[in-house]
Chains A and B, each alone.
Chain A
């Protein structure tokens, strides 16, 4: 369950205050999926960052699986992320020095999982990269790299998966395959999914869509689950 109430984010620039998010609230139940859409600079990634506990709002509150992120310090939020959250990024964020398998193993190892290798091998097979586990990122295509990133995200069986433009760097066909993969694994694991996208077809696969415009929730919202 994700619950955000009256989120605002204001930053100080040389030209004065800049409002990035303005009074955004939402609630998403376990296993549901939400697409955050909007033009560039509308505050999508900022909202995603705050919901995932990577960033803090200037005002407002966020609860992730019943834990109040906004009352925690960075260490506390890190602990919540470790237990609950997975990520898929637009630029894949694979570590160039590690093989595909090692990239997937890394979060599991960080959390002290003894079955890191087996689990990683399983998820790499699931994303169709069983034969390429020992390849390095630079030896993989963009689509393959994103599949490694997806395997990495699902391998730690997160309760919530945050995806930031997961198809942004991929061509249309590859993007489609990646979308299929994300939703397939999401369904299997019953993961709550929050993604930021430009792509209509990806947004439409989500149960809910939230459109932002200049930091505010645009109206009317389409197929909104619980929006206030």
Chain B
């Protein structure tokens, strides 16, 4: 009975337009959050899949010993995961004509578990028509070879090559493979064979340097369970690799991308919350009379509460379903429209992604919509007789508390990270508090200025002043929306620029190492002949850090610090590398370099320095080929670990001039020039080449994908912001209509009313714009500093954009929403409002 009545009341409220804004805001909340959450979920799934292709699996157990067979059997029995294995080693490969070193990878059936091997019948193929996806692994007795290996072996497809004692038929060229990995596979060209042929080669002998890899793929939960099990099994010879441990650079790019999407999601949630609170407040104000009437007619407070709760729940259910549908449609439209642009197909979202939308709807309802309505059942029935009787709303601090709770809860639901929740929450909280004070102050100043102005201005400013609390709230709402839009646009731009800067299209993708001084000219010439322009060679020496301040480090210190155990690459530079930054001490100048009295200077990477407990002025002794060199620590600096060239130790020029260095050169080679690598290696067999081109290409495609996702999510949030602005204007429309109707009835010209509406909303927008600019600048600087971890820079273009956006858009929105005031007869307006 009560449910039917609630349905009927809700239907009547709906028809009369009273709950439409509330429902719309709720629907918007669910839609925006669903769209963002489903889209990011799909995007993340695609990104994880794409990035898993780097490993060829979700996890890899990397071992210098064969993986125990009983592991594989018990894993198969206990866990629902797919398995494959590879064995990698360097070996000389023989053709009929010649021999060459190759990085051999023997793979089991099922490899790769994720990602794919691209093969061709033509070496160095770039035309997509020539490239196919392999439908398996090399058959027993066959090998697939890297493009580069064929000319090096002077062989062709169809020839046989010999690996150890086994002759194998070369059937395909490998264009791309997952799990290119690092280390030796980058130096020597690939030869891929079937695992079953491996014993016949007799290549692997006790003591051979071999990397055994056990590839695992499956559901994240299942994989996690299995990793937990594995951790109890593995020895020092083995380690479990995931994306973070194997591809730091890619993991960083992904992390930043998901953090941004997260921020965008939080903004969507906040905008929705604001819209719902405004709409609920509006709804509650309109229902005071209705509740007083119901209570005078004998409805108990409990009855009223039940009726309103039921109405809200029904509304929430419908709004959630509609929101889910709209969210789904939006994200489908977005992903379908852009599917051709995505390098990989977006998968299906998990059901949790939709759950987040529905959960958001209900949390918004309980925390944002209920508090403004909470007092309704407590409205005294006497209110029906005494209109002037004040209504006891839920205390402002309590309403605020609910809002705060909701924001915290929602951000936490969305981020599942307490630190992100708290940092976003507190920075927003601080900004909004300061903004409220500033808004109130601006309104005061506005009123004083308005007293000296003409009638249109006076009318407009008086209108703003009539209810300072309400005007302050509106300024805050507009300011918050504009602030978030400005901040998001800027974060997105700087994020993408930041990535692009790190990964320019012509970033070096090959590193030639181990170049002897006399080889520089010849290699330089070879590269120049292939349009590579001028090539830089940086010197490099292998050195061992043997003493600190004249003392040999303890065994324990050596155990703790890798840089005390192994040989280090040291170099010398006159100028500080561009992407390094001095954090203590000074970079050397010419006088320091030429100071023959002083010890040579060394610059140390700050984290290594911290681990070694170094201080400025410490004396380090390096051993270079048995000779000792003493240097003094002159400065500490950061390095860009995302780049390929960075050094823990850089000497001042002159220090190492008596030692013969080898050189390295970082070069960008487009695919069609790839053969230059062979030319260099044929002529200079001792030179080593690290090939990063394929990895870089994969990273770039992922970055492109994340950037597009970020743009789309931003548009969804902007749409949400626009709708919140409309909801806020709508909520204050009734009193505006009444006032304007009265003015017209008293004979005011239309121009005066329209003008004053323009001015009122523009001034409101101007104030909101000013605050937004201030707020977004603070927010952006904090995000740059703490979330994205990029250098802080002020954003002057925001000042113009924010103020213009606020003044013009809100001014126009105000006039647009209030147009009825001057188009409908004043009598009708007044009567409608009164009725």
Contact = CB atoms under 8 A, between A and B. Distances in A.
Nearest to A95: B290
Contacts of B386: 45, 49
A73 B296 CA distance: 14
Contact of A97 (B13, B293, B299, B302): B13
A137 B293 CA distance: 15
B597 interface: no
A93 B386 CA distance: 12
B293 A93 contact: yes
Given A54-B381, A75-B301, A138-B832, A102 B295 contact: no
Contacts of A93: 289, 293, 384
A48 B385 contact: yes
Given A137-B835, A138-B835, A78 B299 contact: yes
Interface of B: 1, 5, 8, 12-13, 15-18, 289-290, 293-303, 380-382, 384-387, 831-832, 835
B385 A110 contact: no
Nearest to B12: A98
Given A49-B385, A75-B302, A78-B295, 14 more contacts: A49-B382, A55-B382, A83-B298, A87-B297, A91-B387, A93-B293, A95-B290, A95-B293, A106-B293, A109-B8, A110-B294, A110-B297, A136-B835, A138-B835
Interface string A212-224: 0000000000000
A150 B802 CA distance: 56
Given A78-B298, A87-B296, A93-B289, A109 B18 contact: no
Interface in A56-113: 74-75, 78-83, 85-87, 89, 91, 93, 95-98, 102, 106-107, 109-112
Given A54-B385, A106-B294, A110-B297, A138 B831 contact: yes
Contacts of A22: none
Contact of B301 (A49, A74, A81, A86): A74
Contacts of A89: 384-385
B830 to A, nearest CB: 11
Contact of B298 (A48, A85, A164): A85
A51 to B, nearest CB: 11
Contacts of A54: 296, 380-382, 384-385
A161 to B, nearest CB: 12
B835 A102 contact: no
Contacts of A49: 382, 385-386
Interface in A157-177: 164
A80 B295 CA distance: 11
Nearest to A91: B387
Contact of A110 (B5, B12, B380, B835): B5
Given A78-B298, A79-B298, A111-B298, A98 B385 contact: no
A82 B16 contact: no
A96 B835 contact: yes
Contacts of A48: 385
B298 A81 contact: yes
A96 to B, nearest CB: 5
Contacts of B380: 54-55, 74
B166 to A, nearest CB: 87
Count chain B CB atoms within 10 A of each CB in A89, A98, A106, A156 and give the residue with the most.
Answer: A106
A45 B384 CA distance: 11
6 contacts: A75-B301, A85-B297, A97-B12, A97-B13, A107-B297, A112-B5
A97 B18 contact: yes
Interface pairs A-B: 3 shortest CB-CB: A82-B298, A97-B16, A138-B835
A178 B15 CA distance: 30
Nearest to B834: A138
A87 B298 contact: no
A13 B201 CA distance: 104
A110 B298 contact: yes
Contacts of B299: 78, 82, 110
A83 B297 CA distance: 9
Nearest to B302: A75
A136 B17 CA distance: 13
A91 B834 CA distance: 11
A205 to B, nearest CB: 22
Given A89-B385, A164-B385, A75 B300 contact: yes
A81 B297 contact: yes
A57 to B, nearest CB: 12
A96 B385 contact: no
Given A93-B293, A109-B8, A87 B835 contact: no
Contact of A78 (B15, B18, B381): B381
A36 B300 CA distance: 28
A45 B385 contact: yes
Contacts of A109: 5, 8
A95 B8 CA distance: 14
A82 B298 CA distance: 4
A64 to B, nearest CB: 12
A86 B289 CA distance: 16
Interface string A115-129: 000000000000000
A93 B385 CA distance: 10
Contact of B16 (A74, A96, A107, A112): A96
A211 B779 CA distance: 67
A95 B804 CA distance: 42
B16 A98 contact: yes
Nearest to A81: B298
Contacts of A82: 297-299
Interface string A127-161: 00000000011100000000000000000100000
A114 to B, nearest CB: 9
A137 B835 CA distance: 7
Contact of A81 (B5, B296, B303, B385): B296
Contacts of A80: 298
Given A95-B289, A137-B835, A138-B832, A81 B12 contact: no
Contacts of A107: 297-298
Count chain A CB atoms within 10 A of each CB in B12, B293, B296, B387 and give the residue with the most.
Answer: B296
A137 B5 CA distance: 21
Contacts of A55: 380, 382
Contacts of B300: 74-75, 78-79
A76 to B, nearest CB: 9
B820 to A, nearest CB: 15
A89 B384 CA distance: 8
A148 B12 CA distance: 18
A12 B590 CA distance: 87
A211 B231 CA distance: 93
Nearest to A164: B385
B525 to A, nearest CB: 87
Nearest to B15: A97
